[in-house]
Amino acid sequence: GCDGSILLDDDSTFIGEKTALANNNSARGFEFVDDIKAEVEKTCPGVVSCADILAIAARDSTVVLGGPSWKVKLGRRDSITASRADANKFIPAPSFTLSALKSNFHAQGLSLKDLVALSGAHTIGLARCTTFRAHIYNDSNIDPSFAKSLQHKCPRTGKDDIHRRLDLRTPISFDNFYFRNLLKKKGLLRSDQELFNGKSADSLVKKYAADSSKFFQQFTKSMNKMSNIKPLTGNSGQIRINCRKVN
């Protein structure tokens, strides 16, 4: 759920989600959340949850990079627990096929439309060699010269942590080049290219590649849906003072 559980640090008595398979050496930027939280606590102590800060930061960073804006419902509260086992079980992997991605999203109440539009967030950011190695060496659903150029940077062994752009064309703009790349078989992750593989997601990818306003419209709807999955409200959870630890 959207309860800030990913922000909790491990300590001697507690293992959280930061070291789950998908998050370890991957999820980053926690110090920015700390800075935002510290500012908010100065003016309005004990009111704004870390979970709400994450939801707003996701929206505002989209806007700053040229993407769409949307209204964020507020009032989420923060968890007092986290589960590495659940994170391992539920976060989708870059090796997933289309059908695995679909069932993973369906389990959270998210449709194929949500899956495709939300994957469009890979219009920004980077991925480590270890997350796309299998795709560039083993898969056929990839442009051969694109695969080759990546193989120079990401060898079969070693250099696990070198980063490559998820959107090779415009990695710091929130636009629809992610989808345009997929039409050319230039998706970085297997899970990206699976969305344009001759099956049920193709028509959505084509639609968003052709018209960024259609992508933006669906992205805002799907972000709203995703950011309201199982929030803690009322008296559940707490408003953490420090996002890294339970009060």
SS3 133: helix
On whether 5 is known to bind a ligand per the annotation, the reply is yes
Considering the complex, what minimum distance in angstroms separates the CB of residue 206 from ligand HEM? Answer: 18
Cβ nearer to ligand HEM, comparing 147 with 239? 147
For every residue of 38-71, DSSP letters joined together read HHHHHHSTTTS-HHHHHHHHHHHHHHHTT-----
On whether 75 is known to bind a ligand per the annotation, the reply is no
On whether 123 is known to bind a ligand per the annotation, the reply is yes
Residues near ligand HEM (CB under 6 A): 26, 28, 92-94, 96, 101, 118-119, 121-122, 124-128, 131, 166, 189, 191
Cβ nearer to ligand HEM, comparing 5 with 191? 191
Cβ nearer to ligand HEM, comparing 40 with 112? 112
For every residue of 187-246, DSSP letters joined together read -SSHHHHTTSSSSTTHHHHHHHHH-HHHHHHHHHHHHHHHTTSS-B-TTSSB--SBTTB-
On whether 17 is known to bind a ligand per the annotation, the reply is yes
CA 122/CA 141 separation, integer angstroms? 18
Closest residue by beta carbon to ligand HEM: 125
CA 55/CA 74 separation, integer angstroms? 9
Beta-ladder partners of 78? 238
Cβ nearer to ligand HEM, comparing 40 with 100? 100
Residue list, annotated binding site for heme b: 122
Residue list for the binding site? 1, 3, 5, 17, 92, 122-123, 167, 170, 175
Annotated binding site for Ca(2+): 1, 3, 5, 17, 123, 167, 170, 175
